[in-house]
Amino acid sequence: MLDPESRPDAFHVAIIMDGNGRWAQRRRRPRTAGHVAGAEAVRRTVEAAPALGITTLTLYAFSADNWKRPRTEVDHLMRLFRSHLHSECGRCVENGVRLNVIGRRDRLPAGLGDTIAAVEYRTRQGDRLHLRIAIDYSARDALVAAAAGMDKDGIPSREGFGAALAKAMNASPGPEDVDLLIRTGGEHRLSDFLLWESAYAELMFLDKAWPDFTAKDLEAAVRVFLARDRRFGGLTSTAGFKPNHSDRAEEAGS
């Protein structure tokens, strides 16, 4: 367990859950078995997150490019998302987890869209962890949609664009900067995930396949993150977190 003193107040971790298919193939099982095991890893991760100080957890479950996969795999994943949301909803309410799905809704099977709306409504008062699951998500599509939604007569600002971006991917009230982005499965790329929000994210790439990811792995990743030196382009070391304005004032000697 992390020492409560070393836990941050607000902390956004995003995870690219990769390696399900290879995990299954190594066991001579169908790729879908890897996704089922991956859903167990999702449960473990969500359970472990609050005690590590994680306040927002965004999981990449299905990218806009994943529609290119065989129909049987896509159908299996959509059914799995629906059954997982159903089975986890009560536990989310009990544990103060607010669940939102980010991404497009218009291409999802109707039953899944209804389930998402119901789970979002039932968990809306959760204040321990904001769990965001990205389904039919593309950061580049979200950026294009946000640009199209900007007030053409207003003065462009990061805040205004951020609000438009959140609206574009069903993520209100706003996109939250990612502090730590983890990718499992051995690949070293971002795959069109949270490109704007990860501008200053710390990146961590793990060889382990997602179904093998445990609470201990999450804790180890958080410990490495907390030991990292984040300067956000400045000179002040912030040991993991953004300097606040008083830090900057001290640095400037005022």
User: Cα–Cα distance between 28 and 2 in angstroms, integer?
Assistant: 37
Q: How far is the CB of 174 from ligand FPP (least distance, A)?
A: 22
Catalytic entry in 3, 9, 18, 192? 18
Task: Name which of 12 and 35 has its Cβ closer to ligand FPP.
Answer: 35
Q: How far is the CB of 38 from ligand FPP (least distance, A)?
A: 3
Catalytic entry in 20, 66, 179, 212? 66
Task: Name which of 115 and 198 has its Cβ closer to ligand FPP.
Answer: 115
Interface ranges with ligand FPP (CB under 6 A): 17-22, 35, 38-39, 42, 59, 61-62, 66, 77, 80-81, 84, 133, 185, 210
Residues forming beta bridges with residue 202, ordered by sequence position:
180
Residues 6+ apart with CB under 8 A from 201: 14, 177, 178, 179, 180, 181, 194
Q: How far is the CB of 61 from ligand FPP (least distance, A)?
A: 4
User: Cα–Cα distance between 116 and 82 in angstroms, integer?
Assistant: 8
Task: Name which of 16 and 226 has its Cβ closer to ligand FPP.
Answer: 16
233-238 long-range CB contacts below 8 Å, 24 or more apart? none
Q: Is 66 a catalytic residue?
A: yes
Q: How far is the CB of 248 from ligand FPP (least distance, A)?
A: 39
Q: Give the alpha-carbon dihedral of 180, 184, 190, 195, to 10 degrees.
A: -30
User: Cα–Cα distance between 160 and 8 in angstroms, integer?
Assistant: 27
- State phi, psi for 183 to the nearest 5 degrees: -125, 125
Task: Name which of 84 and 230 has its Cβ closer to ligand FPP.
Answer: 84
- Would you please indicate which residues are annotated as catalytic (active-site) residues? 18, 66
